[in-house]
Chains A and B, each alone.
Chain A
Amino acid sequence: MRTLPSILTTAGSVLALAGTLALLPTTGVAADAKAESVVEQGKAIAFDRKKGNCLACHQIDGGSLPGNIGPPLIAMKARFPDKAKLRAQIWDATKANPNSIMPPFGRQQILSESEIDKVVEFVYTL
């Protein structure tokens, strides 16, 4: 899905791009597919040992050999009705708990802002 717009831009003008999109019968489907791929990317980042490595400490659906230092990541929408609070927890866990062992992914630039956004989207599906 990601490559489609870039091919189009390189291929033609912005006008042509707008035209193509307008011709698509269901733009809604395209948006859903894109959203899913953000979740998938977030999952990949969360599971990557060199990136989020969240499985080191959290049990997460779909991940093997999780650690048990942190709580299992489940029912995240119920736990965090406010998505911004979830992002804040991942960005810097030491705000809520100064002694937290959870790495401050944003503050210490372990993940980039956009990587964190993606992880948030993924975690929010749990």
Chain B
Amino acid sequence: MKKLLTLIATLGMISAASVAVQAGPQQDLKEFRAYYKERFPDVPFNDFVNGVYAIDQASREQWESIEEFPPYELNIDNGKKLFETPFANGKTYASCFPNKGIGIKQNYPYYDAKAGKVITLEAAINNCRTANGEKPLKWKKGPIADISAYMAYTSRGKKIDVKVPADKGAMEAYERGKEHFYAKRGQLNMSCADCHMYNAGNRVRADILSPALGHTTHFPVYRSKWGGLGTIQRRYGGCNKQVRAKPYKAQSVEYSDLEYFETYMSNGLESNGPGARK
């Protein structure tokens, strides 16, 4: 937190005094949004769900033509089929989720006080399987991404609403995720914030850096580079590798806390997954 505060203070985004009094997730959220609003005054708040395409007109047009025939359409269909296919015991995924799993993606990840950890949508999918005597799926792509894509699809238009309850474990998970986001790492010594906050909109070589605000709204994502769909934690691994940091395992505490923080920071934006990216 201290690091962030000094950074923001030196950047002159807000007065240091107002922060010192009331820190916490809600205050963080306000500052986070204010930062992007100041950096991209012409981008309407909800447009941040479109990642780099919210801030770069040229690549936006390419992307819009891709979205006319979405490359993830078959994934949604397959995800729906998998979602509705009963397990060996006759039950389905619907039995594990509130509202039978329809239109709920905006509430994930959440902090599960009983389990003492953050549960992402993918973790909930696999928990559902194991609770019903099925083997867990692999985490980063394939069937789990398809199911997640289908569930995200049924949540389109719903506002991200992730909570950090006044619970010691939840607060700690949030703080760890936040620390991960702002801490420099890897041989190249860069933080997520270095690229996706302080340099959002700038170019690394030819790649324009997306704002972190809205990062999580459109996952899972069909990425041309992957030639398929991947979960957000698959992407985290890629970004860690870019700075020559050893990536964590998908669904590790580290990445789930990071996803918790990043998603909380996108509260109020509309869910629009699955998405397509280059």
Chain A residues at the B interface, C-beta cutoff of 8 Å: 55-57, 65-69, 94, 99, 101, 103-104, 108-110
Contact = CB atoms under 8 A, between A and B. Distances in A.
Q: Which bucket holds chain B's interface residue count?
A: 10 to 19
B204 interface: yes
Interface in B30-57: none
B198 A101 contact: yes
Contact of A104 (B189, B198, B204, B206): B189
Interface string B179-212: 0000000011110001100110011111100000
B205 A66 contact: yes
Interface in B228-253: none
B204 A67 contact: yes
B204 A69 contact: yes
A65 B7 contact: no
A108 to B, nearest CB: 5
B189 A68 contact: no
Contact of B204 (A56, A99, A109): A56
Contact of A108 (B188, B198, B199, B203): B188
Interface of B: 7, 10, 187-190, 194-195, 198-199, 202-207
Given A94-B189, A103-B189, A110-B187, 10 more contacts: A57-B204, A65-B205, A67-B207, A68-B202, A68-B203, A99-B7, A99-B194, A101-B194, A108-B187, A110-B188
B3 to A, nearest CB: 9
Q: Is the interface of A mostly helix, strand, loop or mixed?
A: loop
Contacts of A68: 202-203
Contact of A103 (B188, B199, B207): B188
Contacts of B188: 103, 108, 110
Nearest to B199: A69
A109 B203 CA distance: 25
B203 A69 contact: yes
A87 B203 CA distance: 25
Contacts of A99: 7, 10, 194, 198
13 contacts: A55-B205, A65-B206, A68-B202, A69-B203, A69-B204, A99-B194, A101-B194, A101-B199, A103-B190, A108-B189, A109-B187, A110-B187, A110-B188
Nearest to B209: A69
A110 B190 CA distance: 13
B7 A69 contact: no
Nearest to B194: A101
A65 B187 CA distance: 24
Residue among B188, B198, B199, B202 with most chain A CB within 10 A: B188
Contacts of B189: 94, 103-104, 108
Nearest to A108: B187
Contacts of B199: 69, 101
Contacts of A67: 202-207
Contacts of A101: 190, 194-195, 198-199
A101 B199 CA distance: 9
B235 to A, nearest CB: 19
